[in-house]
């Protein structure tokens, strides 16, 4: 499973990239607004860090305007994936931009039907929002599993990009189900390294080292 980092914080992206933990980046206007910087400037800088897809989101609601914005964003770098919402207008924009050779990430997916439409429209990525479904007592992982089944049934090449990930458990569950990509905030990716037994074992090990006076350097 590929890891995308869901942030516009340059330092966080660079740190994870240097560790080989970044296969791509997802951003949105809300994340970039937190940085207080220009959206095009930040997106260009991110594209310079990773060779993987960098999702940059349109802000228009009408198809023609989405297409125009998408074309502008796509000029930033070759690894831009234009992010459009899963609306009928967004699907129209997806079809046009995909036909032009631009990667498209269709976001805000909450049903298998929506995911099927996005694949038919040529989406490179479909982004089901796990956490937001969990918030209303629906099973976000069940949606990932259903989309996986449908896409495999018919050989769709659209990649399942699990989004709205809230925990390390979400990450492992997505991997077991077969999501192609999971995008998560930096703190969630780092939390995957944590385990109470690792901490306990290390504490015991270090106590033995101190007692024995062992030094390497």
Q: What confidence tier does 155 reach under pLDDT thresholds 50, 70, 90?
A: very high
**Residue 121 near residue 98, CB atoms below 8 Å:** yes
Token output for 103? 């990667």
Q: What is the pLDDT of residues 181-203, one digit of tens each?
A: 999 999 999 999 999 999 999 99
| Interval 57-90: pLDDT, tens | 999 999 999 999 999 999 999 999 999 999 999 9
Residue recorded with tokens 């956490």:
131
User: What is the predicted pLDDT for the residue at 71?
Assistant: 98
Of 2, 34, 75, 83, the catalytic one is: 83
CA proximity to 43, closest of 78, 16, 80, 72: 80
Residue 128's DSSP bridge partners are 109
Q: CA-CA distance, 117 to 134, in Å (whole number)? A: 23
**Domains defined for the chain, CATH in brackets:** 2-212 (3.20.20.70)
Active site residue 95: no
As a whole number, mean pLDDT of residues 26-38 equals 84
Specify the pLDDT at position 136: 96
**What is the chain's mean pLDDT, rounded?**
96
């Amino acid at each position: 499973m590929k890891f995308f980092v869901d942030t516009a914080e340059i330092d966080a992206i660079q740190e994870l990239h240097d560790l080989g933990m970044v296969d791509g980046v997802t951003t949105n206007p809300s994340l970039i607004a937190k940085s207080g910087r220009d959206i095009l400037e930040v997106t260009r800088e991110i594209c310079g860090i990773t060779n993987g897809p960098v999702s940059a989101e349109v802000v228009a609601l009408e198809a023609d305007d989405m297409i125009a914005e998408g074309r502008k964003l796509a000029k930033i770098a070759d690894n831009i994936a234009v992010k459009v919402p899963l609306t009928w207008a967004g699907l129209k924009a997806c079809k046009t931009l995909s036909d032009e050779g631009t990667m498209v990430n269709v976001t805000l997916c909450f049903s298998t039907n929506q995911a099927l439409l996005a694949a038919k429209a040529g989406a490179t990525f479909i982004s089901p929002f796990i956490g937001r479904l969990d918030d209303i007592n629906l099973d976000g992982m069940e949606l990932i599993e259903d989309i996986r089944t449908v896409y495999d049934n018919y050989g769709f090449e659209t990649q399942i990009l699990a989004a709205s990930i809230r925990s390390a458990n979400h990450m492992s569950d997505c991997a077991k189900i077969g999501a192609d990509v999971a995008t998560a905030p930096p703190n969630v990716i780092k939390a995957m390294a944590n385990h109470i037994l690792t901490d306990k074992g290390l504490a015991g090990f270090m106590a033995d080292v101190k007692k024995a006076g062992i030094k390497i350097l």
